[in-house]
């Protein structure tokens, strides 16, 4: 009796395994995204659009608002550099207040959002994302008047064919949290200054299997980054594991006086990391005579 039950279960689970394997294969073969697909017809994008933006129109000709850059082919799907470039300077009258990043074929397509203010100077953002195979990648900009604009790119990414495997997860966790905040050159009063923020963090998806141990390390990632200058936010990121390991962000702020540039980082274990840099900005006139570092 017991034996019979066991046998049945085994057969069933084997059959289920086979069926799901066949299903996975079929999906991969038939539904792999192609650059010929109509980006508007993607079901996951449609769902997200309905849920987040409701019936609000999205202008797909966003060239005057944002431009999205991403490599057509990426050799390492785990680190795909993207640049979302604002096409006008932020002013209190007109500015980009939020940029959403959506990667259609990722297990969690919504990669997160980036909030900006007039103090950001320029709502341009560069970062690196994880991408699943062949996919559309989208940036949707929301301006302060509530209008939406989208820029779309198709990316063909390969799994990291030779990426180092079997990384020491414990060591990666132990070193997590160092935050580097850097500006390049002399900061000038009233002019957008680029900042680079680098966070040492494994930013694990929880979906990558170690090929040797056949185990999945749990998801562990940076979920929020808040950067302020003189106490006012210039960039707030609400993100997830679609951001690559060692999250890296380049963005801008405008100093109106000397002040502190501060980055606060929070991860999914509620660990908090921060870094502060004192910014001394020179007046425009002084800049030409001062030697650049």
Phi, psi of 84 (to 5 degrees): -110, 110
| Nearest residue (CB) to another protein, 74 versus 261 | 74
| Nearest residue (CB) to another protein, 81 versus 177 | 81
291 touching another protein, by CB under 8 A: no
Nearest alpha carbon to residue 271 among 220, 237, 228: 220
CA distances from 142 to 86, 147, 231, 289 (A): 11, 6, 24, 39
Position among 26, 158, 280, 290 found at the interface with another protein (CB under 8 A): 158
| Binding range to another protein, per CB under 8 A, among 13-21, 47-55, 80-88, 281-289 | 80-88
Instruction: Please give the torsion angle defined by the CA atoms of residues 235, 276, 183 and 152, in that order, rounded to the nearest 10 degrees.
Output: -20
Tally of CB atoms within 10 A around 178? 13
Residue with tokens 């801008």: 252
Separation between Cα atoms, residue 138 and residue 99, nearest integer Å: 10
| Binding range to another protein, per CB under 8 A, among 15-23, 52-60, 100-108, 125-133 | 125-133
Long-range contacts of 2-6 (CB under 8 A, 24+ apart): none
For the segment 12-51, give every residue that binds another protein (CB under 8 A).
Answer: 29, 32
Residues 171-200, one symbol each (x = binds another protein by CB under 8 A, - = not), give -------------xx----------x-x--
Min dist. Cβ of residue 95 to another protein (A): 22
| Token duo for residue 273 | 């990391």
| Nearest residue (CB) to another protein, 160 versus 233 | 160
**Which residues contact another protein (rule: CB under 8 A)?**
29, 32, 69, 71, 73-76, 79, 81-83, 126, 128, 133-134, 158-166, 184-185, 196, 198, 211-212, 246, 248, 250
């Amino acid at each position: 009796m017991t034996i019979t039950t066991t046998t049945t279960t085994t057969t069933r689970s084997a059959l289920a395994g086979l069926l799901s394997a066949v299903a996975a294969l079929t999906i991969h073969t038939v539904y792999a995204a192609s650059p010929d697909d109509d980006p508007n017809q993607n079901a996951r994008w449609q769902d997200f659009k309905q849920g987040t933006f409701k019936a609000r129109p999205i202008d797909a000709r966003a060239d005057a608002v944002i431009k999205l850059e991403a490599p057509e082919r990426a050799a390492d799907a785990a680190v795909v550099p993207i640049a979302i470039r604002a096409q006008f300077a932020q002013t209190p009258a007109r500015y980009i207040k939020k940029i959403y990043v959506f990667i259609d074929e990722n297990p969690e397509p919504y990669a997160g959002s980036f909030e900006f203010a007039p103090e950001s100077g320029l709502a341009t953002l560069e970062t690196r994302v994880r991408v699943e195979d062949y996919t559309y990648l989208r940036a949707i900009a929301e301006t302060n008047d509530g209008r939406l604009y989208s820029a779309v790119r198709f990316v063909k990414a390969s799994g990291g064919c030779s990426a180092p495997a079997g990384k020491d997860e414990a060591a990666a966790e132990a070193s997590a949290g160092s935050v580097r905040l850097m500006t390049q050159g002399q900061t000038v009063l009233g002019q957008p200054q680029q900042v680079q923020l680098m966070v040492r963090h494994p930013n694990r998806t929880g979906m990558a299997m170690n090929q040797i141990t056949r185990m999945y390390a749990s998801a562990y990632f940076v979920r929020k980054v808040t950067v302020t200058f003189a106490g006012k936010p210039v960039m707030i990121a609400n993100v997830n594991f679609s951001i690559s390991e060692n999250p890296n962000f380049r963005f801008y702020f405008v100093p109106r006086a000397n002040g502190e540039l501060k980055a606060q980082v929070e991860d999914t274990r509620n660990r908090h990391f921060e870094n502060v840099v004192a910014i001394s900005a020179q007046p425009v006139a002084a800049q030409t005579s001062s030697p650049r570092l």
